[in-house]
Every structure is written in structure tokens, then in C-alpha cells.
């Protein structure tokens, strides 16, 4: 099984890579931090898995294209886990912050999925989008991030209908607040304490991804919400 994970250098993406490491899959790990990617690849190997890593900025079309060309002819699973966040009310939102979130959280997954569809169709593969609770409910101060995640939901819903005749499955995962480096950044921006015990474990989100991939026909997991108790 060939599995591509974007945003694999930390957080949920890292846990997804580890969740599939012992299952005999060939993992392709993409991220922007080479040092952290190498550490994840080492962890995958320690669990008995095999992987190839690539440093890539998904918002750059040329880098994205080159990375796609280096992939095998078939892909069984693509997990879109790369993302960024910058909180601000609409009145104070900078154009750059809005653009950055849109490009990485919504535009890049759309264009990357388009480029990968031939590989996914050959394998009757599975596309998984790591969305967010913000993808179904927008809170004050979260406008740009929520906008990008609502768009990601729309992408997944349309893609699911379009690719059903080709045998490609599509799943959206909607985690609540999750114990990740991104959540540390969120709490820093919010100016609040970090309450690890109150957040979802990133490994549990990864297990939801794994369960979605291993569902047996004719069943399919389309939308999965993972929330703190």
C-alpha cells in the first residue's frame, strides 16, 4: 500500500505516519521542515515501516509538481494534513494572513488532489482530508481559518460524488482541539493556558484515519468528528 502524508513532520500528520508504519505500507512523507521529517522517518523505521521523505512547500506550484512526479504510478491513500492558522477578527485580518491560510489549507489540497487523481484512480484509492471543527462552525476571531476549512469540506463533498464512479473514496476528519504544536500556537495567539488534558490525543485522530482506510466494502466513512470528552 502506497500512502502519501502531507504535513508529516509534526502533529496529526506525524501520528498518521506512525499509525501505518507497522502495517507494511510504503509511506511518502511530505513537510516543510527537513529535520523534523527525518525524525519522523526514523520513528517509522523503528516501528518496522519504510518511508521516503521530501521537503516541499505545497503553496509553490513548481515544488508541488516536482514532488508529484517523484511518486509511484499508483497511490492507495493520500492524507492531507498540512495546515496553518492565524487568528484575527475580520476587522483586523491582514491580507497576507488570509492568503497564506487559503493557499495552504484549501487551494493546495485541491490542486494536489487534482494532480494525484490518475494515481488514485488506478488504485481505487482513498483521499482523506484532516479538516477541523472550524470547518463546520466558525467562531469569532477564526474567520480566515474557518473560511479555508469550510472550503476544504466543500472540496471533499464535491470530490466524493465526482470520484465515486472511479472507485475513489473520500473522507473528512474533523478534530476538535488537539494536542499538537499547532494547538500550542493557537493558545499563544488566544492568550490562554495550554490544557493538554482537555485536548484530543493526535494519535486518536490518526486511528480514525486508519479505521477509515481499513473499512470493508460496501461500507465507507465519509465524515468523522473527533472531539474532547
pLDDT in tens, 160-208: 999 999 999 999 999 999 999 999 999 999 999 999 999 999 999 999 9
Asked if 176 contacts 133 with a C-beta cutoff of 8 angstroms, the reply is yes
Q: Residue 52, Cβ neighbours under 10 Å: how many?
A: 14
Strand bridging mode 169-175 / 2-5: unpaired
Model confidence at 229, pLDDT cuts 50, 70, 90, reads confident
The residue among 185, 177, 155, 175 whose CA lies nearest residue 78 is: 155
What is the three-class DSSP state of 195? Answer: coil
**Residue pLDDT, tens place only, 5-31:** 999 999 999 999 999 998 889 999 999
Phi-psi region of 191 (alpha: psi -120 to 50; beta: other; left: phi over 0): left
Cα angle: 63, vertex 72, 38; to 5 degrees: 60
| pLDDT average, residue stretch 35-42 | 96
Q: Residue 200, Cβ neighbours under 10 Å: how many?
A: 21
All three cell numbers of 184, joined, read 500550542
145, 174, 194, 199: the active-site residue: 145
Average pLDDT for the chain: 96
Beta bridge partners of 130: 173
> Is the confidence at residue 148, as pLDDT, over 90?
yes
Beta strand extents in the chain (DSSP E only): 2-5, 26-31, 50-55, 77-80, 126-130, 169-175, 223-226
Calpha distance 48→227 (Å, rounded): 30
Calpha distance 17→9 (Å, rounded): 9
Model confidence at 36, pLDDT cuts 50, 70, 90, reads very high
Structural domains for the chain: 2-226 (3.40.50.720)
C-alpha distances out from residue 182 to 37, 52, 74, 95, 188, Å: 16, 24, 31, 21, 10
| Catalytic site includes residue 174 | no
Amino acid at each position: 500500500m502506497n500512502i502519501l502524508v502531507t504535513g508529516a513532520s509534526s502533529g496529526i500528520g506525524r501520528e498518521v505516519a506512525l499509525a501505518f508504519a507497522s502495517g507494511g505500507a510504503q509511506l511518502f512523507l511530505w513537510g516543510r521542515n527537513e529535520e523534523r521529517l527525518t525524525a519522523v522517518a526514523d520513528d517509522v523505521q523503528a516501528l518496522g515501516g519504510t518511508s521516503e521523505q521530501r521537503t516541499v512547500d505545497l503553496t509553490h506550484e513548481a515544488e508541488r509538481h516536482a514532488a508529484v512526479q517523484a511518486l509511484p504510478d499508483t497511490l492507495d491513500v493520500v492524507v492531507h494534513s498540512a495546515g496553518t492558522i492565524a487568528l484575527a477578527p475580520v476587522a483586523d485580518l491582514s491580507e497576507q494572513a488570509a492568503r497564506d491560510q487559503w493557499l495552504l489549507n484549501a487551494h493546495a489540497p485541491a490542486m494536489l488532489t487534482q494532480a494525484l487523481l490518475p494515481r488514485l484512480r488506478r488504485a481505487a484509492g482513498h483521499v482523506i482530508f484532516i479538516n477541523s471543527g472550524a470547518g463546520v462552525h466558525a467562531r469569532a476571531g477564526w474567520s480566515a481559518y474557518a473560511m479555508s476549512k469550510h472550503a476544504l469540506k466543500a472540496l471533499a463533498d464535491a470530490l466524493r460524488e465526482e470520484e465515486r464512479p472511479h472507485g475513489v473514496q473520500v473522507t473528512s476528519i474533523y478534530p476538535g482541539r488537539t494536542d499538537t504544536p499547532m494547538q500550542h500556537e493557537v493558545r499563544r495567539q488566544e492568550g490562554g493556558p495550554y490544557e493538554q488534558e482537555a485536548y484530543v490525543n493526535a494519535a486518536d485522530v490518526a486511528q480514525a484515519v486508519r479505521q477509515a482506510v481499513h473499512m470493508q466494502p460496501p461500507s465507507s466513512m465519509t465524515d468523522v468528528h473527533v472531539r474532547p470528552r
